[in-house]
Structure 1
Amino acid sequence: MAEAPDVPALPALRAVLPGGVLRRGGVVAVQDRVRAWGEAPSYLALALAAGASAGGAWCGVVGLPGFGIAAASGMGADLGRFLMVDEPGERWAEAVNVLAGAVDVVLVRPPRRPSGEHVRRIGARIRRTARQRGAVLLVAGEWPGADVRLRLTESVWSGLGAGTGHLTGRRVTVAVDGRGAAGRERTARLWLPAADGAVREWVAETAGSTGTAGTTDRQGFGGISAEIRDGGEVVRLWSA
């Protein structure tokens, strides 16, 4: 069996992923939600799945009835390459094992912290061997021994004017660490999402620049910020 290539990522996320790709046989754990076991994935997990499908990979989604189809589409996802198992209940691990043999990426939110048996069995199922092409396990939440861990250390929403307006985008700082090649922590500053729903690098504005149309920040008239505390997101509003 010819060795399958690793799975592509969106250009804005390549700088923080080892080798700029999602490696087959690896586990990527993503954390940037308020509730550890909520029904929807984070924008960050969506962005990774969106980039994979946009690059031609097939994706399975397990245990996420609130999967953000519109948000994923705005990030460039090919929705025709997604297979959904919305509510597998206690059989979520079985669903992951089945999909891992058919798709390139499995995005899962376990209903609770996975057991050691879950970790071992799923790890064997996604591994790249002479008999199986391997898959990427993308976990919206925690996973013991994950190869790569992504988390938000800063999050600021933009778009409010003097107490009014509409949210137009979120600037974030993504920190990445893990095992092996991912051992050294790296960070990236992104629009996640930008005003048009896409994911792109955020570059600090210079004096005299106009910045992103329709956005304001802490130095403007007002806005929304979010602090990440113990894995949760604390949102604050302010205005002039």
Structure 2
Amino acid sequence: MFDIPTREATLIELRRRLAETAPVVAVEPSVLPVPDALAGLLPGGGLPKGGIISLVVDDDDQAGAGTTSLLFSLLAGPTKPWSALVGLPDLGMQAAAELGVDLARVVLIPNPGVDLLQVLSVLADGVDLIAVASYHGPLASPARLRVLSARLKQRGTVLVAMGDWAGADLTLSVSVAAWGGLGTGHGRLRDRELVVRLRGRRAQGQFREVRILLRSEGVEGNGRVHITSAGLVPAVAQLRGAPYIASRTG
């Protein structure tokens, strides 16, 4: 018979893995850097440390294409953050690596068990960013969510929810505007243009939208991004070193 790990044994093993792979997380500056093309979209120019970010599909993008590509772009950002992917067993790690994600800095927790919030609290001690499947289970009481939020703020860890998350500080909705890269009658889709829109409590009442072009591996500086915000003049930024490989991971 196989032994079923207890909750305590699972948490002990999780802490051991973090100790082996992740350094002590610094809590400054106040934001986690992102690719230049996304910096103008976000208040403070990055992901707020200790904040909760929700990535959702736009209304016209029901298939959900784009959210995984955006997540991988964040993980492949300037600082290559230490991260954990929780409850997301179907993410394509090959696609992540080809987009620039350092897999040696990623902890995979495909099945976090019944107490997801406890697992997230433990992970907050050891990584810069946690990506998690959207959670609406019975343990997600307002009181427990507040405890998790306080832990994230204390440690300066960013939580990225792949879907709606109650009380998220920022919500980024993503849709695919265009595909490109196919040759005449052959080849594969190599380029993807994403539209990313910002809303949420920290959006300061502004509407912001950015278009980013993720190009195939090895092309740098060719992604042009137009940012529009209420009361602001549109700007253009460059997305450097953000290759994209077409896959079914989003």
**What TM-score results when the alignment is normalised by the length of structure 1?**
0.69
Q: What is residue 48 of structure 1 aligned with on the other side?
A: 74
Pairing 1:179–2:201 present:
yes
Aligned-pair distance for 1:161?
5.2
Alignment of structure 1 residues 59-138 onto 2, 5 Å: 59-112=83-136, 114-128=140-154, 133-138=155-160
Pairing 1:194–2:220 present:
no
Aligned-pair distance for 1:174?
1.0
For residues 143-182 of structure 1, what are the alpha-carbon distances to aligned partners after superposition, in whole Å with 9 as ceiling and x for unaligned? Answer: 1121111112552222345655421211121111221354
Q: What is residue 141 of structure 1 aligned with on the other side?
A: 163
- CA distance in structure 1 between the partners assigned to 2:218 and 2:133 by the alignment: 23
- CA distance in structure 2 between the partners assigned to 1:35 and 1:94 by the alignment: 31
- Aligned amino acid, residue 88 of structure 1: P
Q: Tell me, which stretches of 5 or more residues in structure 1 are unaligned?
A: 205-232, 234-240
* 1:76–1:198 CA contact under 8 A, matched in 2: no
Change (3 A) 1:93 1:195: same
Count of matched residue pairs: 195
- CA distance in structure 2 between the partners assigned to 1:49 and 1:117 by the alignment: 30
- Aligned amino acid, residue 195 of structure 1: S
Pairing 1:17–2:38 present:
no
- Aligned amino acid, residue 119 of structure 1: L
Aligned-pair distance for 1:111?
4.7
* 1:89–1:111 CA contact under 8 A, matched in 2: no
- CA distance in structure 2 between the partners assigned to 1:198 and 1:151 by the alignment: 26
- Aligned amino acid, residue 186 of structure 1: R
Change (3 A) 1:203 1:47: closer
Q: CA RMSD in A?
A: 3.0
Q: What is the aligned-residue identity percentage? A: 34
- Of 14, 17, 31, the residue aligned with 2:56 is 31
For residues 10-57 of structure 1, what are the alpha-carbon distances to aligned partners after superposition, in whole Å with 9 as ceiling and x for unaligned? Answer: 222111111111111111111137468x9x962112222221xx5043
- CA distance in structure 1 between the partners assigned to 2:63 and 2:183 by the alignment: 29
Aligned-pair distance for 1:106?
0.8
- CA distance in structure 2 between the partners assigned to 1:198 and 1:48 by the alignment: 18
Partner SS, residue 151 of structure 2: helix
- CA distance in structure 2 between the partners assigned to 1:8 and 1:196 by the alignment: 21
Change (3 A) 1:203 1:125: closer
- CA distance in structure 2 between the partners assigned to 1:79 and 1:108 by the alignment: 17
Q: What is residue 215 of structure 1 aligned with on the other side?
A: none
Partner SS, residue 44 of structure 2: helix
